[in-house]
Each structure stands twice: as C-alpha cells, then as structure tokens.
Structure 1
C-alpha cells in the first residue's frame, strides 16, 4: 500500500485543497496521513475524515512584524523540524503534498532530510513566505495563476489552474434554507471573512444589520471566537465556520462579501456567485489579496471595496449595486474556462511518488 502525507494549515485556505485531494487517494487504496499543528484549524477540519491519521507537531508563526513571540518561535520551528523528520522517517511515505502555511515548513524540511519527494501548491500570484522558504527543496510547485512561474526556479512550475472542492457543487438550496431557517422570498447575502475572521468586516456588518436585513437574509461566517451572542435577529445567522453545511449555504446564496484569498474566490467563481471582495490591506499582508482582487475585477467577476474605504454606507451601496447587476457578473463568470485542476494535481503527485 502506498502512503501519502499531507500538510498545510493556519487557516482554512491552507487546508481546502488537501481536503479536495484526500478522497481520491483513499479511493485508490492509498494510506493517508496528515501533519499539522497541535491545535490549528487543520486539526478540526481533518478530524472529520475518519480514514486519515492526524499528527500534531510544534509550530512557530513566521511573522513579518515585530513581536516578542518571534524570539520563541524559531525554537518551536526547530522542534517541529525534528518531530517531522522523525515522524517521516518512521512512517516512510512515498510522497508528501504541502499546501503551505507556517506549519508546512518543518514538514517540508523533514521530507527533504529524509529524501522523500514533495509537491507544493501555491494559490496566489506570488508565493507566500512559508512556500518561499520551502520551494528551493521542492520536487515541483503547482500554481493557480500562470504569472506565478516568474517567481519560481526554472523547471519547478506546474501551472494547473484553480483547485475546487467538488462537493461544493453538490449543495442544495432547500437544505441551506432549512439549515438557516430562511425563506425563499428574500435573497441571501453570505459574508466570508476568512476562517480566522475579520474584525473590521464583522463590526461593519453588525452595525448595518438593520438596513441590510431590509433587503437580504444574511449568513455571516465570522471566524473563530468572533460570534456576537447579543444579536438576536431571525434573518441574520452567524457561525464561526461551516464545513459540511457550506455547500448547501452556498447553493442558496445570491451574492457574497468576501476576503480575496485565492482558494475561496476561485470556488465562488466556479459556483458563479457574484462577489464584493474586501482584500486584506498591504499593512496586514504581503499584498497577495490585492493582486487577486484586481485580477478578478479586471475579468468582470467581482467588485472591490478596499478596507480603508469600508464603512456601513459604502458597503451597503456596493452590495446593493452588485445584487442589481448580478446577472452580468454571472454571465462573465460563465465564460471562464474551468479546467480539471484537481485531476492534474492528483496525477502529478502520483507520478512524483517514489
């Protein structure tokens, strides 16, 4: 029996591609294991897959700003490298697939030290910090955007396009309305601030609830620990994160307010959901979401509202305009050529296995 190990975490975006790939390997009889952080969201998401064995290791966040944790975290990373090295040596996987995030760096180094081939997936136009550290050791890099090739060593790029979870296309609007106790006589607005949430977006939405619920029923994915239990409104449902129910909620959704992480917006594109994107500002990121949002707006898939311009009034104005013109965005998204990236990545991983 061949064995594959997956890694990636810190946010849902660093797990979703793995979740999409895992069933294919299980169906072909592979043994599947996952290396993640001891208490990250990846552990929560992977625990739903009973056939997958999960291993938690020490991790340290790779910050671009000053923080006293930066003094401690290199020691955590070193511990994680040792744990990953010993784990990989013991489990002897044929190949490792990394989706990135800070938890992946020790695993990638552990794989390299054990001479186990590993494939990296990069969702954004420019590689993230964890992937930039890992790419020199990688067997190959799967990319979502063709422009990413310019940031990679020659010969390592494999342009595959966006990987979309197939189960998201199987949602039922009726089940979504039943889950949220919504009716079918008012449109649904979905807010996705990322698995970690966005305090600014959350506060703005909640300030504008009365005005927004005149027009929409609202599902708000607000992030871990960010539910406001003081709000009681039958047309406003808030959840930290949705997993099994997400496909049904998306099926009943008419328009979406979202951050501009590549995995999420390509899934919304595949489902033809008009988007108002509020990308992470440069001060809070390396600017990848700004590039993603600009690319989607240029293609006519979305509208963009920069966080520095985000107020209750601008948000309501933009989302109402987006809803009014939704058919034009749906038509533009219908012209996007959706490749079967999942199958391409699946085959590439198998070919790389030793």
Structure 2
C-alpha cells in the first residue's frame, strides 16, 4: 500500500505522523510512504532524518484579519493543490492522511478531488481551521479527545488516539531516570515546559527551589535550552538542592517518562497522549498563547476526569505549584486514583486503530 502523510508547522503535527509511519512500517511490511510538507517548516529537517521520502509545496496560513496576504494565500493554496495532485499521481497514492497544519490543507483537498481516500487526524480537543475545512472532504476524521467529536460530522468521526502514545509504551522501568543520576526508589517529579521551556513555570519553580530541598521526592527539572543558563545560575544562588537535577533538554523523553511519578507541564496534545497512556498523574499549566486556547481545553479533558490538576497560568505561583505537588505525592490514594483516571483516557493502540481506519476506507491491507 502507498500511504501519503502530510502535516507541519509544529511538532504536534509532525511527531504523530512520524510515529504512525514507524508503527506501520514495523507491523505491516511492504508499505511505502511519502511525506508532503513545506520547505521552511520543521518537517523539512525532521522527516528526512527518519529516511522517509519527502516532497514539499509552498503554502501559508490565512490571517485572521482582512489582509491582502490572504489573496496571496488563496493563490498559494490553489498552486499547492495542483502540485499535490501531481505528486499523488506519481506516487500512486492509495490513501492520504493529514495530521494538521497549513500544508495538509491542499494535500488532503487534492486527494479528495482525485477520488483518493483520505483521513484527517486531529490531535487537540478543539480543532484548527484547516482540519475543520478538510473534514467536509475527508472520508474519515480521527480524533484523540472525545471532546473533539462535536466539531466534526458524527458519521465519519472515530476516536483513534495519538500514534505517539503507542511509542512510549516501548519503554518500561526506571533505567532512564537512573542514567540521569536519580534514585529509582524515590518518587520522581518531572517539570518541563516543552522544547523551548516556559518562563512562567521556570519562575514559579525557582521561587520554591529552597523548599524543594526538604521534600521526600526528587525533581527532574527541564528548563528549555533558551532558559537553561539563567535558571542554573539562579538555582545555584538558592543552593541547588541535591534532590533537584536541572537539564536544558531531554532527547529521550519516552524513556524518561516510564520512570516518572508526576509530571508538571503544558498541555500540548502529544504530551497528554504520552502521559495518559502511561498513567502518569499531572499538574497542567496550559499555554494561553495558542489558537482557540486549545491547551486549556485539552487540560480540562484530563482535569475533569480526575487525571490532572489544572493551574491557569495567571494563577500560577511557586507556593501554589508546590502545594499541588505535595498534595499528590503525599497522598497515595489520590495518586493512585489519578493514575487510574489517566489510563482510562489513554489509547495504547492508537497507531493500529488508525491503520484499521486506513484499511476500512481503502479495502487494502
């Protein structure tokens, strides 16, 4: 089977696509893939490293206010559709999967116009403009949150989960945290704000750095590359406790997560997929700087189910964060209940579910 995948702009659109490709390659030999992205997106650097054939089109997003740039965007979209049709015909695509971002718009639309079965994959609880538009043309819409079903045609929407979640299950035990010098017999709290970090989270943690010394748990604190030197210096001034290990970035996050007892983080869809499938309780501080405030809505899907504690960024303080950590780590019954609640939201076989949708709409294995 020849499968085309398209998604770009952010890691949240790219990494689920790559996880799907890896899982299908491993379990269904003989499947061929083509990834269509943009020349100036993250996918241009990431996808070729995975040895996946990559082609690009030129496309930009619509401005949310009246602008002449939107006229240019329409022209780019139409050219992107023409270019995509040519690529799809040359590759002899059996199915096209769009995982979000501007680039998936012309690619999935082109597939629909050519009569090629296509799927839209929405990672967030609130969909973006591109996936809302494409849902009219796609054969199926795959979602990761039950909350997202209401935004799409009910008859074509299916809950599959996020393929990235399937990958973290390949790692078990506490070997990952041991490699970083952490004690596997002590509860571990992971604090991270994404690849670039999150200044408000860093500021809150630094304010209680001294108090962390007295806690019966250890902290793996990932600052983000751009904040690392400043945070490290301020932590040293506070006497950097022995039970707090500070890192700028983790390249092996799936391996680390398997040994974590509590996570403090933003509420990106991929992160939440990983936490729920592993059953990790969390304290979520959603970014308010995202489209449609979708991170807060993602977070509420977990907090409403009892899997997470939600702290809105404007309400965040060092003392509030510390109290939230203490209340979970010190209460075994609460911690266990949150773990179980998280697991009920996780979808461990997300990649296989998506593959089953593919076979359903193509009639091929």
Q: Same fold (TM over 0.5)?
A: yes
Q: Which residue of 2 aligns with 1:256?
A: 263
Give the CA RMSD over aligned residues.
3.2
**2:277 corresponds to 1:270:** yes
Shift of 1:56: 3.1
1:2-28 Cα deviation digits (max 9, x unpaired): 211111122222123322321343232
**2:41 corresponds to 1:40:** yes
Q: 1:67 to 1:227 in 2, by over 3 A?
A: farther
Q: Which runs of 5+ in 1 are unaligned?
A: none
| Distance (Å, rounded) in 2 between the aligned partners of 1:132 and 1:174 | 41
| Distance (Å, rounded) in 1 between the aligned partners of 2:345 and 2:328 | 19
The count of residues paired between Structure 1 and Structure 2 equals 347
Q: Which structure has the larger Rg? A: 2
Q: Which residue of 2 aligns with 1:217?
A: 219
| Distance (Å, rounded) in 2 between the aligned partners of 1:161 and 1:176 | 25
Q: Which residue of 1 aligns with 2:236?
A: none
Q: 1:202 to 1:112 in 2, by over 3 A?
A: farther
Q: 1:187 to 1:24 in 2, by over 3 A?
A: closer
| Distance (Å, rounded) in 2 between the aligned partners of 1:139 and 1:175 | 43
1:85-136 Cα deviation digits (max 9, x unpaired): 3322332211111111222113223323433221011233332222012111
Of 231-240 and 338-347, deviating more is 231-240
1:65-144 alignment runs, 5 A limit = 77=77, 79-144=79-144
**2:308 corresponds to 1:302:** yes
Q: 1:310 to 1:81 in 2, by over 3 A?
A: farther
- Indicate if the aligned counterparts of 2:280 and 2:339 stay in contact, CA closer than 8 A: yes
Q: 1:258 to 1:350 in 2, by over 3 A?
A: same
Q: Which residue of 2 aligns with 1:322?
A: 328
Shift of 1:275: 0.2
| Distance (Å, rounded) in 2 between the aligned partners of 1:168 and 1:322 | 23
Shift of 1:36: 1.9
Which TM-score applies when normalising by structure 1? 0.83
Q: 1:75 to 1:189 in 2, by over 3 A?
A: farther
| Distance (Å, rounded) in 1 between the aligned partners of 2:226 and 2:337 | 34
| Distance (Å, rounded) in 2 between the aligned partners of 1:300 and 1:96 | 36
Of 74-83 and 309-318, deviating more is 74-83
Of 200-209 and 85-94, deviating more is 200-209
Q: 1:76 to 1:338 in 2, by over 3 A?
A: closer
Of 199-208 and 5-14, deviating more is 199-208
1:202-241 alignment runs, 5 A limit = 202-206=202-206, 208-212=208-212, 215=215, 216-220=218-222, 222=224, 226-230=226-230, 231=232, 235-240=244-249
Q: 1:152 to 1:331 in 2, by over 3 A?
A: closer
Say which SS state the counterpart of residue 19 (structure 1) adopts.
Answer: helix
| Distance (Å, rounded) in 2 between the aligned partners of 1:239 and 1:79 | 41
Q: 1:248 to 1:129 in 2, by over 3 A?
A: same
Q: Which runs of 5+ in 2 are unaligned?
A: 234-239
Say which SS state the counterpart of residue 169 (structure 2) adopts.
Answer: helix
Shift of 1:319: 2.1
Runs of 4+ in 1 over 6 A off after TM superposition: 65-72
Q: 1:182 to 1:14 in 2, by over 3 A?
A: same
Q: 1:240 to 1:63 in 2, by over 3 A?
A: farther
- Indicate if the aligned counterparts of 1:172 and 1:247 stay in contact, CA closer than 8 A: no
Q: Which residue of 1 aligns with 2:22?
A: 23
- Indicate if the aligned counterparts of 2:172 and 2:255 stay in contact, CA closer than 8 A: yes
Q: 1:113 to 1:166 in 2, by over 3 A?
A: same
| Distance (Å, rounded) in 2 between the aligned partners of 1:150 and 1:32 | 31
Q: Which residue of 2 aligns with 1:351?
A: 360
Q: 1:194 to 1:59 in 2, by over 3 A?
A: farther
- Indicate if the aligned counterparts of 2:3 and 2:94 stay in contact, CA closer than 8 A: yes
Say which SS state the counterpart of residue 138 (structure 1) adopts.
Answer: coil
